[in-house]
Structure formats: structure tokens, C-alpha cells
Structure 1
């Protein structure tokens, strides 16, 4: 009986280790950033084309952010009155306007390109944090807007990376 219990315990331990999430790689973080930038551009394109940009924004938040799997800390660039977006609906509002009055639709500006320049990426097996600058190319002026970012990632149950931390802000400009 003890041998059976020992074997059962070992099998459980082995299956638990086998089911553990695989470590996050730098390549996955870079791919997640590329996907996020393309999604922001796609929301704006759908808006300009008078397509269902709300559906594109909703899909973006549902697939790239981890709201459905736990907490997400989101502090968007153009937010001052309600600085944080802790729900899926608030995140969608920021990208296309909606439930928060100050939101004017960051993604429907629109932008033609988003490029990331990482200062560094820290990977801790099942999580990753990237920090640097990202640049948004304005569709109307073709000028780039520089924004500082910190993104945190975790692996979702579907094995894809999910954003669980998103902080961005314009660079500080001294007034003296």
C-alpha cells in the first residue's frame, strides 16, 4: 500500500512539473510587442475604413491583455483624471473611447506604425518585463510620437504571452 502511495505521489509530482509553463523567451516578448503594435494600427485602420473598429479593439484587449486570467495594471499615456484602467471595458475605452469621459480613442488617432526600442528585457522564467521607448507614427502628419513604456508579460493558459502590466507616458519635459 505504501509503495502504491509513493508511486502515485511521484506520478503526480512528475505530471505537475510537466504541466508547468515553459519559460518565456526574449523572442516571444519581441513577437508580443510586434503583435501589439500591429493591433493598434489595425484598430485605427478599421476606424478610418468605417469598419467594426470596436470589435477589433475588443479582440485586441481580449487576446493581448490578461484581464480574463487575473489582474492587469494598465496606466495609459493619455490619462490624467482616471489614470488607471483595471478592467477590460476601461482598456477598450482608452483605445476607442467609451466608458471613461476623458478617453478620446488613442488607437483611432490613427497611427500607421508602432515601433519598440527596448532599453532592456528582464525574464524570470514565467514572467517578463520590458522597458524602453516606443514610437507611434501619426497617420495625418507622418511624425513620430515618442512614448516611454514598461510592459509586463505572463504566459496565458493558451500558451501565449499576455500583458499584465502596461505603463506608458510621454517623456518628461522640464519647464525651466
Structure 2
């Protein structure tokens, strides 16, 4: 999945996963991304395997109306919006996402930037 969806085998990828923090917030290599998605890597002890959670549904909406959250510049496309994932108990989580895709020499789009975070919630007093 990482080789098909991400640009790790062709070049650089900037990856900031939703639930990463501290000195492991940014994952600039395939090993770090794999650890985030499937866990079990002693070098990334806080990763529990985001992809292994029993998600049953996911959807993505671009920011704005009429795909305003998409920009295309030659072989590079940028998207910004929200992803909602639902677990088997029906709990839904919304995540803010920014992706940058690059069309490779093989004609496939691959992610070169993946920035993900939980929405900001100001403290209420």
C-alpha cells in the first residue's frame, strides 16, 4: 500500500500522521510511515497501528464548495479537507488533512506530503 499510494520508492515524502507526537511527529521515511499504520516497530513504541483499528467506513470532503480545496499545477495536485473514519461501534472521528500528490513518470499519482491533525478545540471557560 505504501509503495502504491506514497512516493517513498521514487523520492521524498513528508508525512505528519494524526496521532504522532514529540520527536516522532514527522515521518520522512517509509519505515516510520509503516510503523504508524501497522505498529510493532520497536523504534516507534507509541505507534499502535492506525490502519489496524477496525474501521468500517471512511469519507473525504475537500474544503470549500465546488472543490475549492483542490489546486493543480502541472504534475502536482494539492488537496485540503476533512476525513471522517468510523469504527465498528459507530464512533466517528474527523481529521483535518492536507495532501500533495505528484504524478510520476509511470503516470501514477502518489502522495508526497501527508499532513494530518485532529481539529483544534479551544478551551471553554
Quick check: TM above 0.5?
yes
User: Structure 1 residue 157: deviation in Å?
Assistant: 2.4
The alignment status of 1:122 with 2:71, answered yes or no, reads yes
1:1-176 map, 5 Å: 60-81=1-22, 82-97=24-39, 98=41, 99-119=43-63, 120-139=69-88, 141-176=89-124
Q: 1:111-154 CA deviation, whole Å, 9 max, x = no partner?
A: 11111000110001110000000100112x11210000000000
Q: Which has the higher strand share?
A: 2
Structure 1: runs of 5 or more not aligned: 1-59
Q: Displacement, 1:102? A: 1.0
Q: Give the drift of 1:74.
A: 0.2
Task: Give the TM-score normalised by structure 1.
Answer: 0.64
Offset from partner CA, 1:60-93 (integer Å, 9 cap, x none): 1111000111110000000012101111111010
TM-score, scaled relative to structure 2: 0.89
1:27 corresponds to: none
Rg larger in 1 or in 2? 1
For the aligned residues, what is the CA RMSD?
0.9
Gap runs ≥5 in structure 2: 64-68
More helix by share: 1
